[in-house]
Structures are given as C-alpha cells and as structure tokens.
Amino acid sequence: MNSRERILGRVRRALADAPADEAPIARDYLREHGRRTVAETVELLAENLADYRAVVHRTDIEGLPGVIAGLLEKRGASSVLVPPGLDEEWLAATGVPRVADRADSTPGELDRVDSVVTACAVAIAETGTIVLDGSPDQGRRRITLVPDHHICVVRVPGQVVSSVPQGLERLDPARPLTWISGPSATSDIELDRVEGVHGPRTLEVVLVGQGRIEST
C-alpha cells in the first residue's frame, strides 16, 4: 500500500458514517465565455499560449517531422526523450539520439536530457492550457517536468476546446493529469520572474492541422 492509498483509506473511514448528500449539484455555470467558431477557438488558444510565453508553431501532419527536427536543431539538442507511444513518424526527420521513458530513470539522468517531445490530451483555448494525462504518447509526468525544453504537439481542431468545463469532460480524473500554462515560472516578492524553476524553461507548442477548420 502506497501513501496515496493510505490517505484515501483514512478519508473513506472518516466519511463512513456521514449522511449522503441528496442535494443536486448546481451546474448552471457558463460552459464557455462567448460564442466562437472552431477557427476562432484555435486562434484564441494560440494567442493565450503566446501570452504565457509559450512559443507557438503551426504546420500540417506532413510538415510535422520537419518542424520537430528544426526545433531540435535550433535548440542544439544532443538528446531527446520520447514516450513509448509517440508516433514514430513525428521524429523521422531528425537524427538526434533518443532517450526512452524508463520507470527507473533518476532525476539526474532526466536533467541531462536536452529536450522532450510529447502529444497532449486536450488544449483549452480560454486559459491557454495544455493538459497531459500520462497516455503512451505523453509518457510519465516527470519527463515533462525535469528536461528544460518541451515540444508539445496539439492536433487541431480535434484536441482543442473552448473552456475548462469542456476540457474536463474529455479527461479521466483517475489519470495523472498535468496542466500546463506556458513554461514553468515563478516570481519573488519584487516580481522578478524566474523561469524553469519547477518545469521546463522553454515550452514550444506545435499546432498540427488535421482537418477542416470552420471559420464561419
């Protein structure tokens, strides 16, 4: 039994005699702020990602391998961490040595990795947030927290939603969810911004067109 199971077990025991709450939960809040076309939603995502200092790139599925190869070359990456379920074609144009997502990788080993490439579970336009859920094409949570450079691929428009409520509908709460709004950053009491404190210093998001985007 791990720590999580022990804590949840204590919570269940503490609530065992609590009366069931029969009152319905009100869910009459706004599901999204304003009406937007699919194209407008994608544009809002790109704007908010950039506002959070993520670097946004656009391409189609045929151009994706070249974009990823170019980003790794520009970064000067000598190694790239690859989740086990990532599409092999995405890295077909680069010869950068790959590092596997292993359960026994130490923080020191991950810190020596130059870049990591993942997919995502969903992207939320209104908040400029990308969510990872630990699926095979995204890998373990720590591989996107320790390396200093994260390239995240978002399939457009299929993985883009307007709001947090819409995003939550697509996510399994039992999975290890990582919510990313721009590169890792923090500020001290004088508001001096420092990046890369508890996650990658550089986040590059590649929006990959995979279907018709409605503009009207």
The tens place of each residue's pLDDT in the chain, 216 residues long, gives: 789 889 998 988 888 887 776 677 777 777 888 889 999 999 999 999 999 999 999 999 999 999 999 999 999 999 999 999 999 999 999 999 999 999 999 999 999 999 999 999 999 999 999 999 999 999 999 999 999 999 999 999 999 999 999 999 999 999 999 999 987 666 666 666 666 566 789 999 999 998 655 544
24 token code pair: 């319905």
Tell me the residue ranges of DSSP E strands in 138-197.
149-156, 160-161, 178-180, 185-187, 193-195
Provide the domain limits for residue 136: 37-209
Give the type of residue at 25.
Answer: I
Q: What does DSSP assign to residue 161?
A: E
**Per the domain annotation, does 192 fall within a domain?**
yes
**Per the domain annotation, does 135 fall within a domain?**
yes
**pTM for the full predicted model:** 0.83
Rg (CA), the chain: 19
User: How many whole angstroms separate alpha carbon 129 and alpha carbon 69?
Assistant: 24
**Per the domain annotation, does 23 fall within a domain?**
no
Domain count, the chain: 1
**Per the domain annotation, does 92 fall within a domain?**
yes
Give the type of residue at 9.
Answer: G
**Per the domain annotation, does 216 fall within a domain?**
no
Residue 172, domain CATH: 3.40.50.10420
